[in-house]
Amino acid sequence: MKILLADDERGIRLTLAEDLEDAGHEVVAVEDGELAIRELKKQKFDCLISDVVMPKVDGMSLLRFAREQVPDIIAIMITGNATVERALEAMKLGAKDFVEKPFNNEKIVLLLNGYGESQQTGRKYQKLVEEVKTDFKVSQMVGNSPQMKRLYEDIKTVAESEFSVLIRGENGTGKEVIATTLHQLSPRQKGPLIKVACHISNVNLLEDELFGHEPGAFTGATSRRIGRFEQAMGGTIYLDDIDDMPVDTQAKLLRVLQEREIERLGGDHPIKVDIHVIASTKVDLRDRVREGKFREDLYHRINVIDLHVPPLREREGDIPVLVEHFLQRYAPGRALTIAPEAMAALVAYRWPGNVRELQHAVQRAIAFGGAGGVLKKEHFLRDFKDALPEGAATITPGDDRRPLKEVVAAAEKAHILNVMRMTRGKVDEAAGILGISRKNLWEKRKQYGLLDGETE
């Protein structure tokens, strides 16, 4: 590859350039960011290796300029003062890696070799990744709310990164779906995705699950067992509910993240592992750290990239969309409609179990009301009658403190969506059922983002 090396330390420039050239690369070495920008304007490079702190133009500004000039340039940032914030900033600007000084030159050479095939093949792959991003559709991820759209953008931004990811969200919000999506959009998508539940209370069982064991490691261990970390080689390991992981096991996980190596139980030599680590938590890990139940050093290691999955009660307008999705998934081809008061109740309900609870509610409604063709409020949840008594379908239970205007708007949007589905998109028929003019219906659908590109 043709490499631009920018570093104000002469020793690094000379020795690293020499080692890169010995590995077969062509290198242009400069001493500051301003000279690097001049070179980028004159010629095209396949790779940028840059110090973060340099005179005249700093490394982050150089990286930003390089990505504008050559969008698919491979960028490796090096620094003597690494922080999580800087690493995240570099990743968001498109850096492939972030290396802390002092480092062995061989590490940089190996990093470049590890990016795989020829630059031409890499560019073809990048084009495919961009096509996936443009048409970002993962069947399991459903929702058009502003909160979910922000989450989709964050996922697209970080999916190619090798930094550790921590997914935060209540039970039932779909954290596992997010982890699966990150893997599907990553360069490791052809590798395995291994999922591990960390709520195993027995430390020995959990560590055997993660690290495996050698024969004789404990009573009954008659053969070698390959653990989950080794099974994830070349791919991704997803640690679900890492907040439940015992403190003793946390120390071993920290070593995996720092050294990228494990030891099987009963083993006497380290095993290198090539993995991407994604973890999830249902609680605020900072509280666990303050309580002494989670290691602070591990928290910072896994929380390089932070993704928050909002609870369903905060996803404005997503409930009707999710209900429709689950109806199509579990009752394909069946002409089922939802009673207006049922949809209003679904929108007003607080969903403490989040998307998982809604999914089960739709399955229950199909089972109890599917034969009649109309799904009613009581078909979805047994306690709807208690939470929302007859004649007060839009009363909001629990601690919902939304203004009345927001609740009414959500119910109106849900009812319009349901009627449009009942009439299979026939505007005149839907307007007649709703008792409003065709123009009024168009204006309301535009207001609620339900037009899908239609014009009056």
**Per-residue model confidence (pLDDT) at position 251:** 92
Q: Are residues 301 and 319 in the same domain?
A: no
Q: Are residues 290 and 325 in the same domain?
A: no
130: in domain: no
Residue 134 confidence (pLDDT) above 70:
no
CB atoms within 10 A of CB 210: 24
**Per-residue model confidence (pLDDT) at position 114:** 64
Q: Are residues 109 and 177 in the same domain?
A: no
Count how many domains the chain has: 3
Helix (H, G, I), strand (E, B) or coil at 294: coil
Extended beta strands in 85-226, E state: 97-100, 165-168, 193-197, 212-213, 225-226
- The bridge status of strand 305-308 relative to strand 337-338 is unpaired
- List the CATH number of the domain containing 77: 3.40.50.2300
Residue 125 confidence (pLDDT) above 50:
no
Q: Are residues 248 and 383 in the same domain?
A: no
First to last CA, the chain: 54
Confidence of residue 135 (pLDDT cuts 50, 70, 90): very low
What residues make up the domain containing 155? Answer: 139-308
d(CA 268, CA 179): 33
245: in domain: yes
d(CA 183, CA 126): 16
- List the CATH number of the domain containing 231: 3.40.50.300
**Per-residue model confidence (pLDDT) at position 145:** 85
Extended beta strands in 201-264, E state: 212-213, 225-226, 236-240, 261-262
User: Mean pLDDT over all residues of the chain?
Assistant: 82
Q: Are residues 194 and 296 in the same domain?
A: yes
Residue 229 confidence (pLDDT) above 80:
yes
Confidence of residue 28 (pLDDT cuts 50, 70, 90): very high
Q: Are residues 105 and 232 in the same domain?
A: no
Q: Are residues 417 and 280 in the same domain?
A: no
Residue 267 confidence (pLDDT) above 50:
yes
- The bridge status of strand 225-226 relative to strand 212-213 is antiparallel
Q: Convert the pLDDT of each residue in 284-318 to its tens digit.
A: 999 999 999 999 999 999 999 999 999 998 888 88
Q: Convert the pLDDT of each residue in 391-445 to its tens digit.
A: 334 444 444 556 666 767 777 888 888 788 777 788 888 887 777 878 778 888 8
Residues of the chain with pLDDT > 70: what percent? 86
**What ranges in 352-403 are assigned the alpha helix state H?**
354-369, 377-380, 384-387
d(CA 1, CA 302): 32
Integer CA distances (angstroms), 92 to 111, 164, 200, 322, in order:
19, 14, 35, 31
302: in domain: yes
456: in domain: no
**Per-residue model confidence (pLDDT) at position 175:** 93
438: in domain: no
Q: Which residue has the higher pLDDT, 418 or 242?
A: 242
CB atoms within 10 A of CB 333: 6
Judge whether 260 and 217 are in contact, CB under 8 Å. Answer: no
Q: Which residue has the higher pLDDT, 399 or 190?
A: 190
Residue 159 confidence (pLDDT) above 80:
yes
| Domain boundary residue, one of 308, 329, 358 | 308
Q: Convert the pLDDT of each residue in 36-66 to its tens digit.
A: 999 988 888 888 998 888 888 888 899 889 8
**Per-residue model confidence (pLDDT) at position 412:** 80
Q: Are residues 284 and 175 in the same domain?
A: yes
Instruction: Copy the structure tokens of residue 296.
Output: 């602070």
Confidence of residue 136 (pLDDT cuts 50, 70, 90): very low
454: in domain: no
430: in domain: no
Instruction: Copy the structure tokens of residue 305.
Output: 């990239």
Residue located via tokens 């919000």: 173
Q: Are residues 174 and 61 in the same domain?
A: no
| Domain boundary residue, one of 308, 342, 359 | 308
* 365-385 mean pLDDT: 80
Q: Are residues 149 and 292 in the same domain?
A: yes
Q: Convert the pLDDT of each residue in 87-117 to its tens digit.
A: 777 777 778 777 887 788 887 887 777 664 4
445: in domain: no
Name every residue whose Cβ is closer than 8 Å to that of residue 43 and which is 6 or more positions away in sequence: 2, 28
Integer CA distances (angstroms), 88 to 77, 133, 165, 174, 292, in order:
12, 20, 11, 24, 27
**Per-residue model confidence (pLDDT) at position 423:** 79
Judge whether 73 and 65 are in contact, CB under 8 Å. Answer: no
Q: Are residues 250 and 397 in the same domain?
A: no
Residue 132 confidence (pLDDT) above 50:
no
Q: Are residues 292 and 153 in the same domain?
A: yes
